[in-house]
Structure 1
Amino acid sequence: MKTITRKYNLAVITCTALLAGTGILAQEKEKQAAELRITIDEAVSYAKENNNIAAFARKEAQAAEADRKTVLSNALPNLEFSAGYDRYSNLTLYTSGLSDHTTNPRLPTSNAAAAGINATFNLYSGGKQHSAENEAKIKKGLADLNAQDQAGSIGFQTANVYLDLLQLNERKNFIADQLKRAETRLKNINALFQNQKVTRSDVLRAEVMLSNVKLSMEQVQNDLLIKNKALNVLMNIEENASVIPTDSAGMPKPDLSQYIGQNNLSQGSYSLQRADLLIQGQQARLKTIKSNNYPTLALRTGYNLSYPNYLFFPPVDQFYSIGFVGARLQYDIASLYKNKPNSQAAKLRIEEFQIQQQAVKQNVSQEISSLYIKYDEALHRIDVNKTSIDQAKVNYKIVSTKYFNQLALLTDLLDADNLFEETRYNLTQAEVEAFRIYYRLQYLTGKL
C-alpha cells in the first residue's frame, strides 16, 4: 500500500511540474510575442500600410477608380433589347351612345408580339464625354493624393510617438541614475546625521528629494505606457503589445542641405498638389458646362421582329421583320441662357482656387525655410548640451565633495544634481527635436 501511495505521489508531482513548466513556457512565448523591437523607419512603414484610416483612404481611391471606369463606359454604344406579347379581347363597337353595341374579334388576330434590338452611338456632344472623363480622372487623382496624404500623416504621427518613446526611455534612464544618486546621498547624509555633523533638516530635504525622484519615475513609466498604446493604435497592432525602440536619440542626424535654396521642394507638398488638382477639376467642370451649349449628334440603328403586320392596310396576320439606320440631332435652346450663371460660377471658383494655390505655396515654402533654420538650431543645441553635460557632471562631483566635507550647503548639492539631470534631458530633447523636424520636412514635401 505504501509503495502504491509513493508511486501515486510521484506521478502527481511529475504532472504538476510538467504543467508548471508548460505554463512558464507559454507565458514566455506570450511575452516574446507581445514584444516588438522595431526601428523608427520600420514603424512608419508598418503604420502607413496597416493603419485603419490609411486603409480607408485607399478604399476610397479604389472606389474613385471604379467611378472613372463607369464614366469611360458611357462612351460605348447604348444597346437595348425588348420583347413583349399581348393578347387582346374582342372589340366592342358602340353606335348609339352606350346602349347599342356589337362585338367583333380584333383583326387580323387577337395576338400581338414584338422583339427587337436598338443601338445608339454618340457621335458628337460638344466635348461633354471628354470633359466628364477628365473630371473623373482628376477625382481619381484627388482620391489617390488623399490616400498618400493620409498615409504620410499617419507616418508623421507614428514618427512623433516613436520619438516620444525614445525621449521617455532616455528620461527613464536618467531618473534611474538620479534615483541611485538620491538613495546613496540619503544614506550618506543619515550617516553624517548619526555623527551629528548635519542637521535633521538636511535629512528631511534628502528624503523629499528621493520621494520626488520616485514620483518622477512613476510618471515617466505611466507616460511610456500611454505612448506605447498610442503607437499600437497607429500601427494597428494588439493593444497589449510592447513596442521596444531599437533606435536611439543619439543616432546620426540626417543631412538637410537639400531643403535649403530650392524653391521647387514645395511642389511635392500634398496641400499644393491638392490645390493644383482642384484647379484642373474646376477647369474640366467649366468645359462640361460649356458643352451644354452645343448640339448633340447620335447614330441610331435597330432591328425588330413584330406580329401581326400593321405596315399594310388592311393589317395582315403574319410576322415581319425590319431594320433601320439613322441619325438624331438635338439642341437645347434654353442652354443659351441657363448655362451662363453656371459658367460664371465655375470661372470664379477657378480664380478662388488659384488664389488658394498661391497662398498654400507661400505657406509651405515659408515653413520649409523655418524648419531648416530650427533644424540648424537643434544641431547647435546638441553641441552646446554635450559640453554642458560634462561641465554639469564635474560641477556635481565638486559640490558633492564640498558638501560631504562640510564646505557647501545641501541646497547647493541638490541644485547641482538637478542641473546635471537637466542638461542630460536637454541633450535628448534637442536630439529628438532634430528628428521631429526631419520627419516634418519629409511629410511637408510629400516624401513621407
Structure 2
Amino acid sequence: MNFNKNKRSFWLCIPFLLSSIFVHAQAVPDQSNFTINQIWALADSNNKKIQIQGFNVQATDAHVKVSKSERLPEVAAEGVYAHVFPLPIYENGLFHTPGQFPVVPTYYKAGADAYFNIYNGGKTTAEINTSKVESELSRVQEGQSKQEIHYTAAVYFYDVFRNISYQVLLEQDIRDGEKQLAEINQLYKNGTILKSDVLRAELRLSKQRMLLTEINNSIKIAKQKLNILIGRTDDAPLNPQILDNETDAIALKQVDEYFNDAKISSYKIQISEKEQALAKLKLKNVKSNIMPSLGFFGEYAFAYPQIQFYPYALSLYSTGMVGLKLKIPISSWYTNQHKVKEAEIRVHQQEVEDQDVKDHIRLEVRKNYILYKESLQRIALAEENIKQAAESYRIVQNTYFNQLALLTDMLDAETQLLQSRFELTTAKVNAKIQYYQLQKAVGNL
C-alpha cells in the first residue's frame, strides 16, 4: 500500500515536475535549448521565404532609382563606317547602258545626340510615385511574411513542447503501470484475483508503450518541421524552453481597442491600402496619355564625305542642330477613353476589396478574441477535471486492492486521470496559439 501513496503523491506533483524539467534546462547553457524569441530571431535570419521577400524589397528599392533616372537627359553616341557602291546614272532609260558618277567608296560618320524631357504630361512623376508605393508595398509584404513565419514557428515550437509534456507524463505512467502490474501478479499468485485481471493490466501497459512510440515519432517530425523553418539541419537537437508564466492567462484589452490597433498595424489592411493607391496612380498615368510632350534636343556629328547636302564635297565636314521637340498624341484622344474607363473600374474594385479586407479583419479579430477567452475557460475546466480524476482514481485504487472494485474500474480511472493531464497541457498550448492568432490578426506578432 506504500506504492499507492507514492503514486498519488506523484500525480499531485506532476505540474511541478513538468515545469522543473524545463526551468532546470534553462539553467544549463545548451546550444539545443531555444526560447520562442530565439526561434523567431533564427527564422528572421534564415527562413527562405523571408529571404525571398528581402530580395523583393531590394529590387523595388532599385526600381525607385530607375524611375528617378528617367528625369536625366538621354545621351547617345553613334558611329558609321561604310563602303559606298558606284553610282550608275541612267540618262537614256533603264534599258540602256548607264553612265557612272564618281563617288568616294569610303564613308564614315561619328556623332552624338541628346534629348532632355521638359514635360510629358506628368508620366515620369507618376512612374516615380508608383515605384515608391511599390517599394512600400514590398516592405509591408515582407513584414506580413515574417509574421506568418513567426506564427507557424510558434505552432511547431509548442507542438514540440506539447508532445514532450505528453512523453514525460506517459513515461511516468508506464513506470507506475509496471509496478502496479507486479502487484497484480502478486495478487494473482495469492489466488486473490483471476488471470483476466493480469491480462487486462498487461494489455493497457502494451497500449501505453505503443502510444509512447507514436508520441516520440511526433516529436521527431515536429522538430524537423521547426528546424527546416528556421534554417537548421533536419536532425539538429532542439529543446523548447518555456517558463511557467508563459502559459498563464494574458489579460486582454477591450475588443474595440484591438479593432483600432488592427486599422494601424494589420498587414492585410496596409497591403490593401497600398494596392488602392497603386490603382489610383495607374488611373492618373493613363489619363496623362492625351497630354503633349515637350523636350529639348541637340545633335552634332562629323562625317566624310559630304553627301548629305548639294553640292557634294569630298572632304570632312561637321553639322549639328538644337531645338525643341513637341509631340501631340492625337490618336490618344479617341483610343485612351477605354483605357481610362478600365483604370477607373480597377480603382472602384480596389475600394470594394479594401472594405472587404477590413470587414474580414474585424471578424478575424473578434473571432480570435472570443476563442482565446474560451481557451482560458478550457484551462480552468481541465484543472478542475484533474482534481476530480485524481480523487476518483485514489478511491477506486484503494477499493480495488481491498477487493471492493473491479480492475476495469481502476484502469478506466487511471486512464481518465492521464487523459485529464493531457487535456490540461493541450488546453494551455492551444490558448497560447490562440493568443498568437489574435496578435497576428491585429498585426502585432
Fold-level match, TM-score > 0.5?
A: yes
Counterpart amino acid of residue 431 in structure 1: K
Partner Cα distance (1:349, 1:101) in 2: 66
CA distance in 2, matches of 1:360, 1:93: 77
Residues 1:166 and 2:161 are matched in the alignment: yes
Post-superposition Cα deviations, 1:368-420, rounded to whole Å, max 9, x if no partner, equal: 12212222222233233233323322322222111101122212211211221
1:280-359 → structure 2 map (5 Å cutoff): 280-309=277-306, 313-359=310-356
1:43 corresponds in structure 2 to 39
Q: Structure 1: where are the runs of 5+ without partners?
A: 1-32
Aligned to 1:193: 188
230, 233, 238: which one pairs with 1:235? Answer: 230
Instruction: Provide the alpha-carbon RMSD of the alignment.
Output: 2.3
Task: List aligned pairs for 1:36-435, cutoff 5 A.
Answer: 36-96=32-92, 97-106=94-103, 109-247=104-242, 251-253=246-248, 255-258=250-253, 260-262=255-257, 263-267=259-263, 268-309=265-306, 313-435=310-432
Partner-residue secondary structure (3-state), 2:314: coil
Alignment of 1:24-35 (within 5 A): none
Does the 8 Å contact 2:88/2:101 carry over to 1? Answer: yes
Aligned residues: 415
In structure 1, C-alpha distance between the alignment counterparts of 2:393 and 2:208, rounded to whole Å: 17
* Secondary structure, aligned partner of 2:315: coil
- Structure 2 residue matching 1:139: 3-state secondary structure: helix
Q: Secondary structure at the match of 1:100?
A: coil
- The aligned residue for residue 17 of structure 1 is none
* Contact 2:247-2:428 within 8 A present in 1 as well: no
TM-score after normalising by structure 2: 0.87
TM-score, length basis structure 1:
0.87
Deviation per CA, 1:141-161, whole angstroms, max 9, x where unpaired?
A: 232222222222111111000
- 431 and 362 in structure 1: CA distance in 2 versus 1, 3 angstrom threshold: same
Q: CA deviation at 1:169?
A: 0.7
- Tell me how far 1:43 sits from its aligned partner: 0.8
Are residues 259 and 302 of structure 1, via their aligned partners in 2, closer, same or farther at CA, if it must alter by over 3 Å?
farther
Deviation at 1:78, TM superposition (A): 0.6
SS at match of 2:114: strand
Measured in 2, the distance between the counterparts of 1:359 and 1:254 equals 32
TM-superposition CA deviations, 1:5-53 (whole Å, max 9, x none) = xxxxxxxxxxxxxxxxxxxxxxxxxxxx996210112112211321112
> d(CA) in 2 for partners of 1:355 and 1:102?
77
Provide the C-alpha distance between the structure 1 equivalents of 2:429 and 2:202, rounded to a whole number of angstroms: 33
Q: Is the 8 A contact 1:124 1:296 kept in 2?
A: yes
Instruction: Tell me, yes or no, if the aligned pair for 2:247 and 2:429 is still in contact at 8 Å.
Output: no
Contact 1:34 1:241 (8 Å CA) reproduced: no
The letter of the residue matching 1:422 is Q
| Cα distance in 2 for residues equivalent to 1:164 and 1:426 | 14
How far off its partner does 1:310 sit?
5.0
| Distance (Å, rounded) in 2 between the aligned partners of 1:402 and 1:376 | 40
The equivalent residue for 2:16 is: none
Q: What's the secondary structure of 1:306's corresponding residue?
A: strand
Letter in 1 for 2:209: K
The 3-state SS of whatever aligns with 1:74 is helix
Q: Alpha carbons of 1:74 and 1:82: their partners in 2 closer, same or farther (altered >3 Å)?
A: same
Contact persistence 1:305–1:321 (CA under 8 A): yes
1:56 and 1:138 map into 2 onto residues whose CA distance is: 19
Give the counterpart letter for 1:187 in structure 2: A
Q: CA deviation at 1:249?
A: 6.8
Deviation at 1:118, TM superposition (A): 0.9
Contact 1:88/1:110 (<8 A) preserved: yes
Measure how far apart 1:312 and its partner are. 6.3
Superposed displacement of residue 221, structure 1: 0.5
Change in 2 beyond 3 A, CA 1:115/1:130: same
Name which of structure 1's ranges 258-267 and 363-372 shifts more when overlaid on structure 2. Answer: 258-267
One-letter code aligned to 1:318: S
Structure 2, unaligned stretches of length 5 or more? 1-28
Measure how far apart 1:313 and its partner are. Answer: 4.3
State the 1:91 CA deviation.
3.0
Shift of 1:250: 5.8
CA distance in 1, matches of 2:408, 2:31: 43
Identity percentage of aligned residues:
30
- Deviation of residue 278 (structure 1)? 1.1
Q: Offset at 1:362? A: 1.4
Mark the CA change 1:261 to 1:93 in structure 2 (over 3 Å): closer, same or farther.
closer
Q: Name the CA distance, whole Å, in 2 between partners of 1:412 and 1:356.
A: 59
Following the alignment from structure 1 to structure 2, what is the Cα–Cα distance between the partners of residues 35 and 154? 22
